[in-house]
Amino acid sequence: MAAIRHFLDLHRLTTETLRDILDLAGRLKAAHAEGKAADLFAGKTLVMIFEKPSTRTRVSFQVAMQQLGGQVVVMSEGESQLGRGETIADTARVLSRYADAIMIRTDDPQKLDDLEAHATVPVINGLTDFSHPCQVMADVMTFEEHRGPIEGRVVAWSGDGNNVANSWIHAAGRFGFTLRLACPKGLRPEDAVMNWAEGEGADVIITDTAEEAITGADLVVADTWVSMGVSMGDEEADARRKLLQPFRVDGDLMAKAKPDALFMHCLPAHRGEEVTDEVMDGPHSVVWDEAENRLHAQKGILAWCLG
Ligand code: CP
Ligand code: NVA
């Protein structure tokens, strides 16, 4: 029997597979634009488990399945038996009898691994506290649509070394671009992720200042300063904001990137905090194309997972 095609993390898949998925995504996007009816997912059902809020992930996965003739069932932790202690393993066994794929958005990445270990259908990572691979697939797709191959380009991340940053590190290893992460001390990506990058020979560095990372970059990326997985009191949150203030992407910082640099943000944005309106709504910003490409990138992911 062929191995189940799980989409768990970018560093757990080969460059060839990730390129195949992006190729599928591009073809499905073009087919949709041409109005070609596709029933690729006819008779297929995706179950989505949400243990955290979502706008883009929920709607884009649902629309992706529906546009290609498939069905979706959405489960939230609070409204399911997961909230009353049924294990992920047992949930995986049961859902595999109903569905053709399972997507999960959760906190602990161990839950993703438990789901993978016990599901007999593909499992897709819709964000954990560790990573957000669907997002970065859409981001790479968006960069390449606007600027051509990302290989050899310079991507700058400014802010918290969070789950999305981790997936960018994995992407640097797989897609062959330079990644400069400007993160304050204490909010840098974990050593394990940086060690993975080093072991892969990936060109990933951490800088002390946003200027160092952004100067001459082809793409500047920002994300929220307080991710969903971070819980803290008001005082701690204030201290964190103060620490991150020099990493806010404003017009002056953006001007240090290449003149034709792009700006991305996975959204939701906290305007005026990690990014100013000037940048979000400015000429470098491709945030709406990026959000749209969640739909197309995930069609590619689903098509690959469902074989
Ligand atoms: N970027 C992203 O994953 O958005 P949602 O949290 O709205 O799904
Ligand atoms: N880093 C953010 C991403 C949201 C899509 C979070 O985890 O909240």
DSSP state of 101: E
pLDDT at 1 over 70: no
Mean of pLDDT values over 42-51: 97
**78 in Cβ contact with 109 (< 8 Å):** no
Nearest CA-CA partner of 130 in 104, 156, 97: 104
Does residue 268 have a cis bond before it (omega within 30 degrees)? Answer: yes
Task: Say how many Å lie between the CA of residue 181 and the centre of ligand 2.
Answer: 17
Q: CA–CA separation, 183 vs 205, rounded Å?
A: 11
19 is catalytic: no
Query: Closest residue (by CA) to atom 6 of ligand 1?
Result: 54
pLDDT tens for 60-92 read: 999 999 999 999 999 998 889 999 999 999 999
pLDDT tens for 103-152 read: 999 999 999 999 999 999 999 999 999 999 999 999 999 999 999 999 99
Mean of pLDDT values over 270-284: 98
pLDDT of amino acid 78:
85
- In degrees rounded to 5, what are phi and psi of residue 124? -120, 135
- In degrees rounded to 5, what are phi and psi of residue 183? -135, 140
Mean of pLDDT values over 284-297: 98
pTM: 0.98
DSSP 127-160: --SS--HHHHHHHHHHHHHHHS--TT-EEEEES-
**97 in Cβ contact with 119 (< 8 Å):** no
Catalytic residue among 56, 174, 248, 294: 294
Catalytic residue among 58, 135, 284, 296: 135
Best residue for ligand 2 mutational test, from 183, 266, 275 (most atoms within 8 Å of Cβ): 266
* Rg of the Cα atoms in the chain: 19
Q: Is 228 in the pocket of ligand 2 (CB under 6 A)?
A: yes
Catalytic residue among 6, 180, 223, 298: 223
Best residue for ligand 2 mutational test, from 223, 230, 232, 294 (most atoms within 8 Å of Cβ): 223
Mean of pLDDT values over 21-25: 98
Nearest CA-CA partner of 256 in 218, 207, 206: 218
188 is catalytic: no
pLDDT at 38 over 90: no
Nearest CA-CA partner of 249 in 224, 227, 218: 224
**38 in Cβ contact with 32 (< 8 Å):** yes
pLDDT at 279 over 90: yes
